[in-house]
Chain A
């Protein structure tokens, strides 16, 4: 746990926490700037750049044409020259039109150059579903990015972590993919868990990239999750208090993955549930299971339960989408199974 700072009593949305982090870094570092679609007067489709245009103007908060390969590539160029761009890819699903810049350039330049060139840039992007935006606007895809070496990948579950992780991301000398789930942003126009609004200190602080948080301590079962699913896991853990003692681990970042935190908790509980809104196969949940299998499979007293998005594109109709999404009921059922 790194939340050593007193969070205070001011409560803000995750969207506000992110834009505040960017504003504070922009005030202290003239090399930081933002570009992307609708990040200017609109303030970002999901509010990640709210108020920035009014303070910093069009030279530092830049609305781009719909040319993701162009402006993400331009972000790389500015970064190799020492600037610290924060580039928004409106929905992660749009990575398809610009992935070459991301994984063949942004992620590889430092390594290819034998460590001589740095690419200190942040790509922030909206992920996730649950509101019927269908197959091309609802994916999480963090494992897709995590699979390619050279990018750090973070996905906060609450406003406090979002601010601290964004400040860390901007200061990091490596490229960071900052994935905010639409459901954690605290948007006025989307159903949300109250956990999407929370205490956030006004001053600058960092949350280290690569350190998981024990979001809820427990001893019967370890539930590992990230991003919005952490909110569901916490709801379940609180509901089960008195019956089952659930330890919820909020990974906060997928790369680097805090394997130690997972192993330590599983060594304690012997039971593991993984909750992940990204696709099930070839992804985060499998990597977590592999981490235990590699280290010591005997840590587990029961087979692992994975509550993940099944290997199907995301359907539009609500009944279909919620059949597939990780929900509190499915998490409860998985906990019941491993603790039976």
Chain B
């Protein structure tokens, strides 16, 4: 059971992630007018935001310590923030600045924060075997750390997912595989790409415990992840969790989402953040003033991070030629 302080912390973390994604969204579009151009503005390139998926990141990361690893997909911000990646440095990276996590070389889909053992990749499903290798290192060194591979439900149809599950199970490694099922892979609906309703069934093919978590509820997600992480830490091997969640916004910014139709309204109505706020307030765990105060505080932190990024220097052009080899 989650105690009330933890609940308030869950709310704060989810609100912080949402404030971050909302601010990035606004800033991303702000200087792409009047003619929208993906390569223009202070934040150029693709932008995949995770509004709606905060419960997964927060419920998962509440079970992790700094030395545990995460490989995240192309939609990485919620996981990075929940894992403790420095918001300022991450923002500076997204702004392509020298003070960024990767000196402006990586960008939003390639965030590397070695101290938090956090990384992500823009190639679908390909972070999963990497997590297996991190778990290998942890177990060979005799630590009790775990590696978590996070990917979307679309990624679970990629060969790397299946190979990674098989290896992790065969070698009984401390890995937790998290599938964020937001129902969509760009414009391709889950039902048209995956023949089974419960993707966690695939765990049994590789002899590993697995579970589907419905409801996009941070507390239920926390509990399911707790069991999986504790099993991995105790040497019990990998777990597959498929977590039902929601993509509130477009696949990437600029996605008109014509393919979503009525479902988009349902998605908007199922926003987990106001729902959790309401739940805590009506249960008397949080007053409305406290909730508002939290939202103000996280917004201020986000503003500061964006200011830091904007006022940071750009990399020197000649830096393009360094870091090819170690």
Contacts and interface: CB of A to CB of B under 8 A. Distances in A.
A317 B122 contact: no
B320 A67 contact: no
A65 B153 CA distance: 10
A263 interface: no
Contact of A319 (B39, B96, B157): B96
Nearest to B257: A42
Interface in A40-77: 40-42, 45, 63-70
B154 A310 contact: no
A38 B324 contact: no
Interface residues of A, number: 44
A245 to B, nearest CB: 32
B275 interface: no
Contacts of A131: 37-39, 44-45
A188 B37 CA distance: 8
Contacts of B86: none
Contacts of B170: none
B86 to A, nearest CB: 18
A42 B186 contact: yes
A233 to B, nearest CB: 21
A317 B121 contact: no
Given A65-B154, A96-B123, A323 B38 contact: no
Interface in A102-139: 130-137
B320 A136 contact: no
A38 B187 contact: yes
B321 A63 contact: no
Given A45-B186, A66-B155, A136-B122, A317 B104 contact: yes
A312 interface: yes
Contact of A133 (B45, B125, B194, B320): B45
B240 to A, nearest CB: 18
A297 interface: no
Given A97-B126, A190-B37, A323-B318, A42 B105 contact: no
Which of A41, A96, A97, A316 neighbours the largest number of chain B CB atoms within 10 Å of its CB? A316
A65 B194 contact: yes
B235 interface: no
A66 B158 contact: yes
B271 interface: no
Contacts of A137: 46, 109, 122
